[in-house]
């Protein structure tokens, strides 16, 4: 489903099951039929902490306590690596520092979450998942509610991670145009079932936009999408 | 090299202790101590504060293992362990240590337990309106105590146990009602209010079955929360639960509570078994609440407002919050009980003592109203 070392985007209209599928992949919602495998192991049979050491999920929950500092939040990413009574080790600190560096928010380290913008908060939450040092990173709509500049910032950070640290990424994106530009692969969902999957240039067609999204649009080279109007 | 790392790790372990927290704890301690001095110096046998100070720190108590053991373990157990249970003390010391000190100690332990219990329940339900009372734990424990007093008076030595059983059952019922493939703060609180209301009705109903007026009075004292007449026996009842369950449980649970605050699915994605953790932490909260209900009855508002007050000062980090609660809770109840015992005798000259629960209610209610007016939002943590 998610090819190793690549960025795969799950796209589809509201209610098509993107987030549900991502939760199932993350070991959060056991599917009634079928199984989720990670390197051949059933995700639902694995110990939760060891799963969290290799697979991180950025949820849509945004209600983190306002008085928490960015660094404190990112440190929680080390939760699966720490024993019951262990303090932060050198390795933990190094991972936190790296996560802050990759997301470019080192200067906010001591700042409380209540005092930074929504985009910066999202970067801090992504940094927390990076501190888990996962092989697979799953992101549930990381760009929703952000302004365009922060959207691009978040996606660039994710892309960089994938390229420089070989993290496999699965991401739910609302905006198919954005997904087509950023992802190596697309999975288009309609009514809870995959409609089509593959590289963006194969998947994004005028037919798909009409059938899955109900939109009349022109697809140009790239693929670049020019939407015209909703179909009845 | 190794020692260098060790010291650094030792320092890191306590890096969360900042001046604000230290100052807050120092103020709480000072308040609790002032309350203690006033409490032990006034009464039918009144002494000056200086004498009281001398009696509290009388080396004849602190430096003699026999005396300490007898007070903490009781005559029987201390005697069978080979401690000398007969001793002479100065009159002031005797009055302070045998009559007035246990009441202060019970007040402190009750304050500690209720404050920690409230802090745990607020984090577990992610709801700052939660407390052992809202979640039905206190009502369950209270009903169990009343049942014991009215129906099985012979079992009254087992009160902490019956209270814990009642509290646990009530919480389980609340949890079961709120459960729908998982729980949510709102569902938990709603279920708690429903169960609490039913249990309170049952408590009131039991009054009608109580045989004599004495039992009813005792029962009323339970439901308002009173420390009148507590003795070393109550200290002995409460202390083991606090030392063996409540303190270790909260110390171990602080980080888990912090992760729980990030939200259920985030905590789960970080590898926490959320429902199990919630349940274990709730267990610690239940023991804390039930133990204090067993010795002092239902002392209202402490579990609700102490975590609030501490949170506004030290923030939401639970290492800081729980330590702050462990100091502020005792301070509040010790001072409140001093007021409860001495207000009428000293100000009006009548010998009436108020139940401490009435004082905490009178302080807690307005404080909570003030919070409600000041803050835009109250509820979700």
State pLDDT tens for residues B169-188: 998 899 889 888 766 767 88
Chain A: give the shortest CA distance to residue B315, in Å: 6
Q: Do B270 and A50 touch (CB under 8 A)?
A: no
What pLDDT does residue B378 have? Answer: 63
Q: Across the interface, do A84 and B263 touch by the CB < 8 Å criterion?
A: no
Q: What is the mean pLDDT of residues B156-166?
A: 79
Of B167 and B114, the one with more pLDDT? B114
Checking if the pLDDT of B9 tops 60, the result is no
Q: Residue B7 above 70 pLDDT?
A: no
Helices (H), A58-174: 70-75, 90-102, 118-131, 148-165
Q: Do the Cβ atoms of B271 and A50 come within 8 Å?
A: yes
Q: What is the pLDDT of residue B288?
A: 92
For residue B151, name the pLDDT band (cuts at 50, 70, 90).
confident
Chain B residues within an 8 Å CB radius of A58: 269
The pLDDT of residue B2 is 47
The yes-or-no verdict on residue A1 having pLDDT over 90 is no
How many Å lie between the alpha carbon of A61 and the closest alpha carbon of chain B? 7
Task: Report yes or no for ipTM above 0.85.
Answer: yes
Residue A36: its pLDDT value, please?
83
Closest-CA residue of chain A to B316: A67
- pLDDT at position B248 is 94
Do A52 and B265 make contact, defined as CB atoms within 8 angstroms? no
Averaged pLDDT, B258-285: 89
Specify whether the CB–CB gap between A53 and A134 falls below 8 A: yes
pLDDT over threshold 70, residue A123: yes
Closest residue of chain B to A61, computed from CA coordinates? B263
What is the average per-residue pLDDT within B64-70?
A: 86
Omega of the bond leading into A103 within 30 degrees of 0 (cis): no
For residue A7, give how far its alpha carbon lies from the nearest alpha carbon of chain B (Å): 20
How many angstroms separate the CA of residue A167 from the nearest CA in chain B? 17
Q: From the list A28, A80, A84, which residue is nearest B265 (CB)?
A: A28
- What is the structure's pLDDT at B325? 96
Say what the pLDDT of residue A222 is.
75
Summarize pLDDT for A132-188 with one digit per residue, the tens.
989 999 999 888 877 888 888 888 888 888 888 889 999 998 888 889 888 999 999
Residue B11 scores a pLDDT above 70: no
Q: Is the pLDDT of residue B321 over 90?
A: yes
Whole-angstrom CA distances from B352 to B46, B117, B335 are 17, 31, 18
The answer on pLDDT for B6 being more than 60 is no
Question: Which chain A positions have a beta carbon within 8 Å of B264's beta carbon?
Answer: 61
Mean pLDDT computed over A81-97 = 85
Q: Least CA distance to B268: which residue of chain A?
A: A28
For chains A and B, CB pairs below 8 A equal 66
- Give B376's contacts (C-beta < 8 A, 6+ positions apart): none
- Give B334→chain A minimum CA distance, Å: 30
Residues above pLDDT 90, as percent of chain A: 22
Mutate to test the interface with A, among B251, B269, B311, B380 (most CBs of A within 10 A): B269
In this predicted structure, what is the pLDDT of residue B306?
Answer: 94
More confident residue, A183 or A85: A183
Please determine, looking at this structure, whether the domain spanning B26-44+99-374 carries the CATH number 1.10.40.30.
no
Mean pLDDT of B273-293: 89
- A28 and B269 within 8 Å at the Cβ level: the answer is yes
Cβ <8 Å between A88 and B273: no
Question: What pLDDT score does B251 carry?
Answer: 92
Computed over every residue of chain A, the mean pLDDT equals: 87
Q: What is the pLDDT of residue B377?
A: 65
Question: Which pLDDT score is estimated for B376?
Answer: 67
Closest residue, chain A, to B10 (C-alpha): A87
The model's pTM is 0.88
Give the residue on A whose Cα is nearest the Cα of B381: A65
Nearest chain B alpha carbon to A77: B270
How far away is chain A from the Cα of B60, in angstroms, using its nearest Cα?
A: 40
Quote the minimal CA–CA distance from B17 to chain A in Å. 14
Res B13 pLDDT > 70:
no
For residue B1, pLDDT over 50 is answered with no
Measured between alpha carbons, how far is B220 from B209 in angstroms, rounded to an integer? 14
Categorize the per-residue pLDDT at A17 as very low, low, confident or very high, splitting at 50, 70 and 90. Answer: confident
Mutation target vs A (from B10, B271, B310, B313; most A CBs, 10 A cutoff): B271
Average pLDDT of the segment spanning B204-212: 78
* Percent of chain B at pLDDT exceeding 90: 30
pLDDT band per the 50, 70, 90 thresholds, residue B31: very high
Distance between B317 CA and the closest CA of chain A, angstroms: 7
The secondary element (H helix, E strand) that includes residue A172 is strand A168-172
Q: Tell me the chain A residues in contact with residue B259 when contact means C-beta distances shorter than 8 Å.
A: 76, 79
Residue of B5, B255, B270 lying closest to A52 (CB–CB): B270
Q: At what angle do helices A90-102 and A118-131 cross, to 10 degrees?
A: 140
Rounded-to-10 torsion of CA B301, B303, B306, B311: -130
Q: How far is A176 from chain B (nearest CA, A)?
A: 26
Contact state of B270 with A51 under an 8 Å Cβ cutoff: no
Per-residue pLDDT for B124 more than 60? Answer: yes
Interface contact flag, A87 B13, Cβ < 8 Å: yes
Provide residues of B within 8 Å CB-CB of chain A. 5, 9, 12-13, 252, 255, 258-259, 261-266, 268-273, 315-317, 380-381
CB contact under 8 A, B268 and A28: yes
What distance, in Å, lies between the first and last C-alpha atoms of chain A?
A: 32
What's the mean pLDDT in A211-228? 85
Q: Do B265 and A48 touch (CB under 8 A)?
A: no
- Given this model, what pLDDT does residue B330 score? 97
Residue range B312-334: mean pLDDT, rounded:
94
> Which of the pair, B237 or B30, is modelled with greater confidence?
B30
| A chain contacts of residue B17, beta-carbon cutoff 8 Å | none
């Amino acid at each position: 489903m998610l090819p190793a070392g690549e960025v795969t985007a799950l796209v589809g209209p509201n209610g098509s099951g993107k987030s549900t599928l991502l939760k199932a992949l993350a070991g959060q919602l056991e599917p009634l039929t079928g199984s989720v495998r990670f390197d051949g192991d059933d995700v639902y049979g694995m110990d939760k902490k060891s799963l969290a050491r290799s697979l991180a999920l950025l949820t849509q929950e945004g209600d983190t306590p306002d008085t928490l500092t960015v660094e404190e939040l990112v440190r929680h990413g080390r939760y699966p690596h720490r024993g019951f009574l262990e303090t932060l080790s050198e390795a933990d600190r190094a991972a936190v520092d790296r996560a802050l560096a990759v997301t470019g928010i080192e200067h906010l380290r001591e700042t409380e979450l209540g005092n930074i913008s929504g985009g910066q908060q999202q970067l801090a939450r992504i940094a927390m998942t990076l501190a888990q040092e996962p092989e697979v990173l799953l992101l549930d709509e990381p760009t929703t509610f952000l302004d365009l500049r922060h959207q691009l910032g978040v996606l660039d950070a994710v892309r960089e991670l994938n390229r420089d640290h070989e993290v496999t990424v699965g991401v739910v994106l609302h905006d198919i145009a954005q997904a087509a530009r950023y992802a190596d692969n697309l999975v288009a969902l309609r009514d809870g079932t995959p409609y089509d999957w593959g590289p963006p240039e194969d998947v994004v067609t005028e037919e798909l936009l009409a059938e899955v999204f109900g939109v009349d649009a022109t697809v140009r080279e790239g693929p670049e999408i020019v939407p015209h109007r909703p179909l009845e | 090299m190794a020692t260098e790392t060790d010291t650094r790790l030792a320092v890191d372990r306590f890096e969360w202790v900042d001046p604000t927290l230290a100052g807050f704890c120092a103020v709480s301690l000072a308040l609790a101590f002032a309350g203690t001095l006033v409490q032990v110096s006034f009464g039918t046998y009144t002494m000056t504060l200086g004498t009281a100070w001398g009696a509290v720190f009388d080396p004849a108590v602190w430096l003699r293992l026999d005396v300490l053991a007898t007070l903490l373990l009781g005559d029987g157990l201390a005697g069978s362990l080979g401690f000398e249970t007969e001793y002479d003390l100065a009159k002031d010391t005797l009055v302070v240590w045998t009559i007035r000190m246990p009441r202060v100690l019970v007040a402190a332990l009750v304050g500690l337990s209720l404050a920690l219990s409230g802090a745990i329940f607020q984090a577990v339900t992610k709801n700052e309106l939660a407390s052992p009372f809202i979640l039905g734990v206190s009502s369950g424990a209270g009903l169990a105590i009343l049942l014991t007093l009215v129906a099985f008076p012979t079992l009254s030595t087992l009160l902490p146990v019956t209270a814990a059983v009642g509290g646990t059952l009530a919480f389980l019922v609340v949890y079961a009602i709120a459960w729908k493939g998982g729980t949510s703060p709102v569902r938990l609180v709603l279920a708690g209010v429903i169960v609490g209301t039913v249990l309170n009705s049952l408590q009131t109903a039991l009054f009608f079955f109580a045989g004599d007026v004495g039992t009813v009075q005792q029962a009323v004292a339970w439901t308002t929360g009173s420390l009148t007449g507590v003795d070393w026996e109550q200290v002995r009842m409460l202390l083991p639960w606090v030392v063996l369950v409540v303190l270790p449980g909260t110390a171990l649970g602080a980080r888990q509570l912090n992760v729980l605050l990030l939200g259920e699915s985030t905590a789960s994605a970080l590898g926490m078994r959320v429902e199990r953790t919630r349940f274990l932490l709730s267990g610690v909260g239940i023991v804390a609440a039930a133990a204090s209900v067993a010795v002092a009855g239902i002392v209202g508002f402490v579990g609700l407002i102490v975590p609030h007050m501490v949170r506004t000062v030290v923030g939401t980090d639970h290492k800081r919050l729980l330590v702050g609660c462990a100091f502020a809770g005792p301070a509040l109840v010790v001072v409140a009980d001093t007021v409860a015992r001495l207000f009428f005798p000293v100000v009006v000259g009548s010998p009436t003592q108020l139940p401490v629960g009435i004082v905490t209610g009178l302080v807690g209610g307005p404080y909570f109203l003030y919070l409600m007016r000041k803050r835009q939002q109250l509820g979700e943590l």
